[in-house]
Amino acid sequence: MLVLSLHEGHNASAAIAQDGRILAAVSEERFCRAKNFMGFPHQSIMYCLEEAGCEGNDLDRVVLVTRLLDPLVLHIRRSTHFTAADHIRQQYEYYARLHRGGDEAKVRNQYARSCNSFSSPSHYDFSSFDGFTTQKGDSEKYLEIRKKTVQDHLGVPEEKIILADHHHCHAAYAYGASSIREEKVLVFTADCIGDGLSATVWMVDERGIPTKIAETSEQMLGYVWRYVTLNLGLIPLQDEYKVMGLAPYGGSQGGEQVKKKFDEIFGFREDRWIRPRTFGHYFEIAQRLEGFRFDHIAAGLQTHTENSLANWVSYWARHTGIDKVIFSGGMALNVKVNAHLGRQKWLTNLEVPPGGSDESLPIGAGYLYSIPNSGNWADCLPLTNAYLGPNCCQIQTEEIKQKAHKAGFLIRNFHPDQVAELLAQGKIIGRCWGRMEFGPRALGNRSILARADQEYIRKKLNDKIKHRDWWMPFAPIMRADQAPGLIQNRNHSMGLL
């Protein structure tokens, strides 16, 4: 069973799977160079087909992940074009008006027209779309356009196109990619929102049969991170990792005061997620955090998030008696949460597959619909690495070489021993080798390498090369066989936990 699967929302991506094995997966931003591109992942699809050596009419199924995608977000190009100021304007001119009970169709059309970046997205035919109505109604109309686009581009008949649920795909990716088999395991998914849910819990038995044991839309950590990020003047859905990176600078005392503010209003208590009935998102966050220092806010939110998710995971572990956990969804990108979960004493195994945000949804869909029975995940073949993207020779290497040469870089083929020697001399190396890693982490094949024991290198990397904020950390790398001697409380992960 050969299956192509697509995610067209934030950080659009595609994957191709055959009989439970993932052949390729890549995000569209890697081709179009627009960070977090949203829309039809045309180039990713072409790459997946090429990698699998097939054409559209060879496919047994094409899976579209997520039923409800709001075309308004696509039209205003929020994920690729919005500044922090644009996001704040959206709060006042769109969300606040809706919260005040404004006519939804009127608010949506007025806001859409007011956006400079409003445009007709490529590949989709929106000619039959005559104005915005409700988010639900527009999402249904967009779904028909998405299906038609697949039919037109791939020559696939409608009966081969399948819709997959958002959190079902997060969970299938988590289990399928993990190395846990023939044991009972709990799978947790948590994000902002997808097909009406923000968190699910699955129990997978020794035979690989999954049962969803909990679901909720009350978990709102994703939204809170989004609005705290905006509150700090950063860009939501993009800069949350900067808030996480800032958290260690917040100190324990100031952070504790902010944490209490978050504890008062939401979190996992006893056996459920709680949230205020009338939570006003950005405005309420802004009001509650007024007067607190930026680094204390980051620290407080991080601690609150770690505790809430640990309480949630621990509750279900106690309830089921299962001590092995796999975690995915957008919240699994928070590596400090994962480290906190990994320190829970009752836990015997925690796995967090790479790229757990929405870009891995097509991999989950590929697993679900390329195996004989989507109700038995035992036939999903674990990912042994994250190198699922184009090989160096499939991309325009010459053009890249010329650009890099013009920018003053020295391009050479080096033996690993020479690379080690240069690193020891304090040189900074960019490594481009083999297939590109899937997900947001550089895992060696497209990575910047430098020795970690010289302060000037961190500064040089941040200032001159990555153009990053001073507080952002770098990840240490090591050989897998040496990790047990170097890392305490090590949990399995092929990427970064």
- Supply the minimum distance, in Å, between the C-beta of residue 25 and Fe ion: 16
- Supply the minimum distance, in Å, between the C-beta of residue 175 and Fe ion: 16
* Residues of this chain that bind Fe ion (CB under 5 A): 191, 194, 358
- Supply the minimum distance, in Å, between the C-beta of residue 200 and Fe ion: 10
Q: Which is nearer to Fe ion, 250 or 495 (CB)?
A: 495
- Supply the minimum distance, in Å, between the C-beta of residue 285 and Fe ion: 21
Distance CA 76, CA 69 (A): 13
Q: Which is nearer to Fe ion, 302 or 328 (CB)?
A: 328
Q: Which is nearer to Fe ion, 29 or 358 (CB)?
A: 358
Q: Which is nearer to Fe ion, 10 or 61 (CB)?
A: 10
- Supply the minimum distance, in Å, between the C-beta of residue 140 and Fe ion: 20
- Supply the minimum distance, in Å, between the C-beta of residue 358 and Fe ion: 5
Q: Which is nearer to Fe ion, 303 or 308 (CB)?
A: 308
- Is residue 135 within 8 A of residue 70, CB to CB? The reply is yes
Q: Classify strands 210-216 and 197-204 as parallel, antiparallel or unpaired.
A: antiparallel
How far apart are the two ends of the chain, measured CA to CA in Å? 32
Q: Which is nearer to Fe ion, 51 or 191 (CB)?
A: 191
Q: Which is nearer to Fe ion, 35 or 401 (CB)?
A: 35
- Supply the minimum distance, in Å, between the C-beta of residue 355 and Fe ion: 12
- Supply the minimum distance, in Å, between the C-beta of residue 212 and Fe ion: 15
- Supply the minimum distance, in Å, between the C-beta of residue 68 and Fe ion: 12
Q: Which is nearer to Fe ion, 303 or 360 (CB)?
A: 360
Q: Which is nearer to Fe ion, 197 or 450 (CB)?
A: 197
Write a three-state SS string for the chain: CEEEEEECCCCCEEEEEECCEEEEEEECHHHHCCCCCCCCCHHHHHHHHHHHCCCHHHCCEEEEECCCCCHHHHHCCHHHHCCHHHHHHHHHHHHHHHHCCCCHHHHHHHHHHHCCCCCCCCCCCCCCCCCCCCHHHHHHHHHHHHHHHHHHHHCCCHHHEEEECHHHHHHHHHHHHCCCCCCCEEEEEEEEEECCEEEEEEEECCCCCEEEEEEECCCCHHHHHHHHHHHCCCCCCCCHHHHHHHHHHHCHHHHHHHHHHHHHHCEEECCEEECCCCCCCHHHHHHHCCCCCHHHHHHHHHHHHHHHHHHHHHHHHHHHCCCEEEEECHHHHCHHHHHHHHCCCCCCEEECCCCCCHHHHHHHHHHHHHCCCCCCHHHCCCCCCCCCCCEHHHCCHHHHHHHHHHCCCCCCCCCHHHHHHHHHCCCCEEEECCECCCCCCCCCCEEEECCCCCHHHHHHHHHHHCCCCCCCCCCCCCCHHHHHHHCCCCCCCCCCC
Q: Which is nearer to Fe ion, 115 or 197 (CB)?
A: 197
Q: Which is nearer to Fe ion, 229 or 445 (CB)?
A: 229
Residues 6+ apart with CB under 8 A from 129: 71, 141, 142, 145
Residue with the shortest CB distance to Fe ion: 191
- Supply the minimum distance, in Å, between the C-beta of residue 191 and Fe ion: 4
- Supply the minimum distance, in Å, between the C-beta of residue 173 and Fe ion: 10
